[in-house]
Amino acid sequence: MNLTSTDYLNILPLLLVGAGILISLTVEMYSKKSVGFLSWFSFLLHLLVAYYSLYTVNNVSSVFGGMMGTGGTVNIFYFIFNFGAAIVALLSMDYIKKAEIYFGEYYILLQSAVLGMMLMASATDLVMVFIGLELMSICFYVLAGFQRKNVRSNEASLKYFLLGSFTTGFIVYGMALIYGASGSLNIQSIFSMLSAESTPILFYVGTLLFIIGFCFKIAAFPFHMWVPDVYQGAPTSVTAMMSTIGKAAAFSALLLIMLPLIGSKNPQTFTPLFTVLSAASMIFGSIVALAQTDIKRMLAYSSIAHAGYMLIGLAAANDTGASGIVFYLAAYAFMNLGAFGIVSLIEGNGDTEGTIESYAGLSDRNPLLAGLLALFMFTLSGLPPFAGFFGKYYVFIASLEAGNVWIAVLGALSSAISAYFYLRIIVVMYFRKSDVASDNIITESHTSLLGIVISAILVIMMGLTPGSIVRLINSF
Amino acid sequence: MSSFPMLTLLTFLPIIGMVIVMMLPKEKRSLIKITTLVATGLQVVLAGFMWAGFNYSQAGINNPATFQFVERIPWITFDSGSWLGMIKIDYFLGVDGLSAPMVLLTALISFIAAISSWNIERSVKGYFALFLLLDTGMMGTFLALDFFLFYVFWEIMLLPMYFLIGIWGGPRKEYAAIKFFIYTLFGSVFILLVMIGLYLSVNEVTGEGATFHTFNILSMMNPSNYTQDGILSPFNPDNLRFIAFIGLFVGFAIKIPMFPFHTWLPDAHVEAPTPISVILAGVLLKLGAYGIIRFNYSIFPEITRELVWWIALFGMINIIYGAFCAMAQKDFKKLIAYSSVSHMGYVLLGMASLNEVGLGGAVLQMFNHGTITAMLFLLVGVVYDRTHTRGLNDFGGLANNLPVYTGFAIVAFFAAIGLPGLSGFISESFVFLGAFKVESIRLLTIISAAGIVLGAGYMLWTMQRVYLGKLNEKWTDLKDLDFREYTMLVPLAVIVFLLGIFPSIMLDLMNTSINELVNQVTKTDFHSIMSGMK
Amino acid sequence: MSLETILFYFFASICAVTSVLVVVRREPVFSALFLVLNFASLAGIYVTLYAQFIAVVQVIVYAGAIMVLFLFVIMLLRPEKEKSIFSGNPTLQKLSIGVGVLVFFQLIYIIIAGTISSGKSVAAEQRIRTGEVEFIGRELITNYLLPFESIAFLLLAATIGALVISKKKFE
C-alpha cells in the first residue's frame, strides 16, 4: 500500500481533532487553571472541524487502502458530531462548575469521544468500526461517572460500562462470524463476496449479532434497559452528548451495513428485523414516557422512541431511508441538545430531582427559556414547520416508498401519543402557577444560552428550508 | 390572474401585524389591540376586494386554469439526482367558489373576534400575537392548493389555538387544551400519511417533459396523473385508496367534529375565552368539512360515491345526538357547543347528497353556521362578562332590563332554529331538498328532519329560561349593550338577515364551482381504470 | 491420527474442562487459577492453528499480566458476596443457561457446517507464514496502519479515564 500526502490531507479533520487532544493534554498537564482555556479551545476546534468537513464535503475518496472513506455522508456525519460537540462545549462551560466536575480531563475525553465517532462514521473496515466504537464508549463510560461523589452518577457509569462491554462482545463476535463467512473485514469485499456466491447462514448470524450490538448503542427497544438510569444519572451535559451525537455515531455504523445492501439483489434482507425493532421501540418509548415524572427520564424514553423512528428508515432499505436517517439524526441532535441544555440550566446542583413539576410557572420566571423549551418540545413531537417534522416525514416517505405501509402508520400513531408527554411540559410551564416552594434557581449562563439559541436557530432553519441541508446530504 | 399578490397579502397580513405586536412594548396594551384590529380590518377590506374581483363564471375545483388570484412559486425544489428523484413543493395559492365564501368568513370572524378580544387582560401581547398567527393559519389553510403547504398551515393553526385555550381559558383549561391538541394531532398524522402516499403515487410533467412526484392537489384529482404502481394509484390493483380515504376522512372529521370524535369540542368551547370560542365555532369547524370536500371528494370520488350512505348516517347521528345532548345541558356555552355538533350534521348530510342543491346547501350552511354560532357565542360572552356565570338556570327574565341584547339574541336563536327569512332557513332547506332527492339516503334524511324539531325545542326552551319570565333579583342592575358589543353583533345580524332574504349573494359566488365539484365527484372515473386493469 | 489432531484434542479437552471448572468452583482464587490453565490451553490451540504470535501474546498478556491483576484484585477484595450471585437471582441463572445453550448449539452448527463446506483452504506454508511476527508486524504498519495508530488514542483515552475515575482528587 502506498500512502501519499493526499491520504493525510483527506483525513485532516481526524488529524485536527487528534492534534487537539494532544494539545489539550499538554496544556492540562502544565497549567493548573487551564479549564477555561480548554473549554473555549474545544469549542473552536470542533467548530473549525465542522466547518472544514462541510467545506470539503464533495471530496469523496477512499483512503489508507480502503480502511476509511471521506467526503459525502461521512463529512455530514463529521459535521453533526463536531457541531454537536461544539454546542456541548458551550453548554458545559458553566454547567461543570455547578456539577463540581470542573476538570480539564472533561474536555479531553469529550474530544476523544468525538474522534471515536469520526473514526466510526468514516470506517469502511470492521476493524475501524470497532476501534472507533471503543474509543467513543470508553470516553462515555468515564464521562457518565464523572461526578464521583454522586451515587447516581456512579451507578450510571457502572451500568453503562457493564452492559456496554457485554454488547461489545456481541459486536466482536458478530464481526468474527462475518469474517469467517466472507474471509474479509472490508465492507466492500464482504458484500462483493456475498453477491458473487450464495450467502452462508453464518454471515446472517454475524450481521444479526452486529446489529443487536449497535441497537444497544442507539437505545432501541429490547436493548434499552440502561438508557433511563444512565441518562438520569450522568451529568446533564454528558447525557446531551450521549443521546444525540453518540446515537448518530451508532447509526452511522448501522448505515455501513445497510448502504451496500441498497441496490443489491435483496435490499430488504434485514427489513423484518428492523421493522420489529422499530415498532417495539416507538411504542414502548412513547407509552412508558407518558408515565415519567422526571424530565431526564422522560427524554430518555423519548430517545428510545426516536430511535424507533430512525429505524423506520433502515427498515425501508432505500436511498430515501438513508438520507432520511441522516437528516433525522441532524435534526434530533440539535433539538435534543437544546432541550438538555435547558434542563442543565434549570436543574439544581446536588441531588435535587429534575421533576417536571419543578418547571411550573417557568413562563413567568424566565419567559425566554420557557419559550425555547416549548419550541424544542414542539419539534420533538414532530410538528411542522420545525426540523423534527421533516425528519419524520422523510422516514415515512421512505417506508411508504418501500411498500412498508403499516410501520409508517404505527409511527404516525406513536408520534401522536408522544405529543402528549411533550405537551405536558408545556402545560406545566405555561398553564400552571409557579410553586413558591420550588427551590430551583435558574443558572445564569450566557454561553449555555448561546448554545441553546444556536440549536433553536438550526432547528427552525432545517424546518423552514429543509432543502438546504437535504440537498447537501443528497448531493452524493 | 393579477400580478398583485392578493392572496399572499390576505394570508400574511396578520403575520405582519404579529411582528409589529411583538416589537411593541408590552405596556402599550391599547396600541397592541389597535394593531390587531387594523390588521384584521385590512384583511376584511382585502377580502372584499377579492370578492369584487372574483369572476363568478370560473369554476376552479380541479382545473388550475380556472382558479383565481393564483400564486405559484417553487418553495422547496431540488433535483437530487439518483437519490430522491426530484422533490418539488410549491407555494401554491388560489381561490375558487368553494374557498371564496370561507375566506370571507375567516376575514369577517377574525375581525369580530379581534373586537371581542378587547377586554382580554392577561398578557395582552402574547394573546394578540398568537391570535394573529391563528388568523394566518386559518386563511392559509383555505387558500393552499399544494397539499404540503396545506398541511403546514393546518398544523400552524394548531399551536396558537392550543395556547389560547390553555393560557387564557377557564378553570379546566389544561385538560381542554391538551384534549383539543391530541385529537387534532391524531387526525393530522393520518392526513400526513395519506399526503405522502398521494405524493408517491402522482406524477406531474414539467414543460421540458421531465416527470416528478408532486403535492399539487389539482394533479391528484386527475386519474391520468397517477403512476402505474403507486400505493394510492388506481392503476395498482392492490392500491390502498379505500384505507387512505378513511384515514383522510377521519383526520378531517375530528375537526368537524363528527360523532364519535366530537368530545373535544364541548370541553374546548367551555374553557376557551369568548373570542376563541367564536373563532373555533366560526372558522375552525369549517376546516374539517372544507377538507373533506376539497380532498376526499375530489381526489377519491369513486370511494366517496361508495360511502355516501355512511356519510349521511354520521350526519344524521350528529344532528340527532347533538340536539339531544344540547337539550340536556345546563351550561350556556356547552349548549351552543352541542348545537354546533348538530348543525355540522346538516353539512355532512348535504355533502352526502352529491348533487348541486345539497352540496350548495352544505357550503352555505358552513357559512351560515359560522356567522350564527359566532353570534351566539358573543351573546353568551356578553352576559358572562357581566354576571360571571353561564348556568342556564341562573338567569331568567333578562328581556326585562336588557331589551336590545334580547333582541339580538332572538335573531340569533331563530336563525339557528331555521326560521324562514333568516339565513339558517335557506341552507337547511337546501340540504334537505338535496338529500331527499337521493333514493339511498332518503330514510336517513327523514329521520334527520326530526333534528329541526329538536333544535327548535332546545333553543326555545333556552330562550324561555334565560330571557323570559321573571327577572332574577341578582341581575337587576345589569347594563345593556355598549358600543363595542354593538360593533360585533350588528354586522353579523345584518348578514343573517341579508342571506335570509337574498341567499343568491352567496349562492352565485359558489354556484359554478359547486356544479364543477358535483361533476368531478360523480363523473370522474377512477373505477374503469381499475376494472380495466383486472 | 496425526500429531496435529492429537494435540488439538488434548488442548481442547483441557480447555473445555477448565472452563467448566472456572464456573463451578466456589472459591474465586481457584476459578482464577483454572482460568489461567484455560488461557494456556487456548494458546496451545492457537499454535496448532499456526498462529504462533497470537499464542505467545495469549500467554504473556492473558495468562500472565491480566491474570496476575485478577489475583491481586481477588486477594485485596476477598469478595464474599460474589458466591451468592446466582443463588440470589434465579432469573439471571436461567438467562445465563439460555445464553450458554444458544452459544453451544451455534458452535455445534459451525463445526457441522464447517465439515460440510470444507471452509477456505490455504496452503500450509502460507498459513505458517501468516502466524509469524514479521508478517503481523508488516501488516500492522502497512495495511492496518490507520487502526494501529488509532489504537494509540484509544489507549490514551482509557488511561486518562482510569486516572480520572480512580485518582482524581476532589477538593
State mean pLDDT over C137-158: 88
Say if A288 falls within a structural domain.
Answer: yes
Per-residue confidence (pLDDT) for residue C79, from 0 to 100: 63
Counting one residue from chain A and one from chain B, the pairs whose CB atoms sit within 8 A come to 95
- Give whichever of A261-275, A343-357, B260-274, C67-81 has the largest mean pLDDT: B260-274
Smallest Cα distance from B186 to chain A, Å:
5
> In this predicted model, which residue has the larger pLDDT, B74 or B488?
B488
State mean pLDDT over B308-333: 89
Do C5 and C67 share a structural domain? yes
A465 touches chain B (CB under 8 A): yes
Do C94 and C62 share a structural domain? no
Tell me the CA end-to-end span of chain A in Å, nearest whole number. Answer: 27
Say if A448 falls within a structural domain.
Answer: yes
Q: Domain containing B494: what range?
A: 300-501
Q: How many whole angstroms separate alpha carbon A326 and alpha carbon A314?
A: 11
Per-residue confidence (pLDDT) for residue B523, from 0 to 100: 78
Q: Which of A184-193, A344-353, A408-417, A457-466 has the lowest mean pLDDT?
A: A344-353
Per-residue confidence (pLDDT) for residue A101, from 0 to 100: 80
Q: Give the pLDDT band (50/70/90) at residue A172.
A: very high
- Test the A interface: residue of C118, C144, C148, C150 with most A CBs within 10 Å: C150
According to DSSP, residue B89 is labeled E
State mean pLDDT over B303-307: 86
Contacts of A201 in chain C (CB under 8 A): 113
Say if B377 falls within a structural domain.
Answer: yes
The domain total for chain A is 1
Smallest Cα distance from B123 to chain A, Å:
10
Say if B480 falls within a structural domain.
Answer: yes
Counting one residue from chain A and one from chain C, the pairs whose CB atoms sit within 8 A come to 82
Provide the CB-side half-sphere exposure for B358 (13 A, CA): 26
Say if B75 falls within a structural domain.
Answer: no
Residues 388-407 on A with a CB inside 8 Å of B are: 389, 393, 396-397, 400-401, 403, 405
Contact B174 A431 (CB under 8 A): yes
Q: Domain containing A301: what range?
A: 266-476
b/e sequence A25-44, b meaning 16+ C-beta within 10 Å:
bebbeeeeebbeebbebbbe
Contacts of A145 in chain C (CB under 8 A): 165
CATH of the domain at C12: 1.20.120.1200
Q: Which helix (H) or strand (E) holds B197?
A: helix B173-201
Closest listed residue to residue B319, CA positions, set B330, B329, B307, B311: B311
State mean pLDDT over A438-462: 82
pLDDT tens for C79-136 read 665 555 556 667 777 887 888 888 788 778 777 766 554 445 566 667 677 777 788 8
Do C23 and C52 share a structural domain? yes
Smallest Cα distance from B85 to chain A, Å:
10
Say if A310 falls within a structural domain.
Answer: yes
Closest B-chain CA to A407? B193
Q: How many whole angstroms separate alpha carbon A306 and alpha carbon A281?
A: 8
The crossing angle, in degrees rounded to 10, of helices A73-98 and A446-464 is 150
Do C98 and C57 share a structural domain? no
Q: How many whole angstroms separate alpha carbon A243 and alpha carbon A341?
A: 12
Q: How many whole angstroms separate alpha carbon B247 and alpha carbon B245?
A: 5
Smallest Cα distance from A74 to chain B, Å:
16
What is the value of pTM for the model shown? 0.82
Residues 362-391 on A with a CB inside 8 Å of B are: 378, 381, 383-385, 389
Say if B479 falls within a structural domain.
Answer: yes
Q: Which of A109-123, A433-447, B130-144 has the lowest mean pLDDT?
A: A433-447
Do C75 and C28 share a structural domain? yes
Q: How many whole angstroms separate alpha carbon B93 and alpha carbon B152?
A: 13
Smallest Cα distance from C17 to chain A, Å:
22
Say if C127 falls within a structural domain.
Answer: no
Contacts of A202 in chain C (CB under 8 A): 110, 113
Do C45 and C4 share a structural domain? yes
Closest listed residue to residue C53, CA positions, set C110, C128, C106: C128
B197 touches chain A (CB under 8 A): yes
According to DSSP, residue B229 is labeled S
Contact A430 B163 (CB under 8 A): yes
- Test the C interface: residue of A10, A23, A61, A127 with most C CBs within 10 Å: A127
Q: Which helix (H) or strand (E) holds B79?
A: strand B68-79
Closest listed residue to residue A117, CA positions, set A214, A252, A23: A252
Strands (E), B412-496: none
Radius of gyration for chain C, computed over Cα atoms and rounded to the nearest angstrom: 20
Per-residue confidence (pLDDT) for residue B84, from 0 to 100: 41
Q: Give the pLDDT band (50/70/90) at residue A97.
A: confident
Per-residue confidence (pLDDT) for residue A258, from 0 to 100: 80
Name the one residue in this structure whose C-alpha cell is 377521519. B250
- Give whichever of A358-372, B257-271, C24-38, C109-123 has the largest mean pLDDT: B257-271
Say if C61 falls within a structural domain.
Answer: yes
- Test the C interface: residue of A35, A119, A120, A199 with most C CBs within 10 Å: A119
Q: Tell me the torsion sign for CA atoms B225, B231, B237, B241.
A: negative
Per-residue confidence (pLDDT) for residue A350, from 0 to 100: 52
Q: Give the pLDDT band (50/70/90) at residue A137.
A: very high
Q: How many whole angstroms separate alpha carbon C73 and alpha carbon C67?
A: 10
State percent of chain A over pLDDT 70.
Answer: 93
With a cut of 80, say whether residue A476 has pLDDT above it.
no
Q: Domain containing C161: what range?
A: 132-171
Q: Give the pLDDT band (50/70/90) at residue B534.
A: very low
Say if B221 falls within a structural domain.
Answer: no
pLDDT tens for A27-53 read 988 887 888 889 999 999 999 998 888
Do C74 and C144 share a structural domain? no
With a cut of 60, say whether residue B379 has pLDDT above it.
yes
Say if A137 falls within a structural domain.
Answer: no
ipTM: 0.86
Q: Give the pLDDT band (50/70/90) at residue B533.
A: very low
Do C104 and C149 share a structural domain? no
Contact A125 C164 (CB under 8 A): no
Q: Among A400, A424, A466, whose Cβ lies nearest the Cβ of B76? A: A466
Q: How many whole angstroms separate alpha carbon A472 and alpha carbon B298?
A: 37
Smallest Cα distance from A388 to chain B, Å:
13
The domain total for chain C is 3
The domain total for chain B is 1
> In this predicted model, which residue has the larger pLDDT, B2 or B99?
B99
B230 touches chain A (CB under 8 A): no
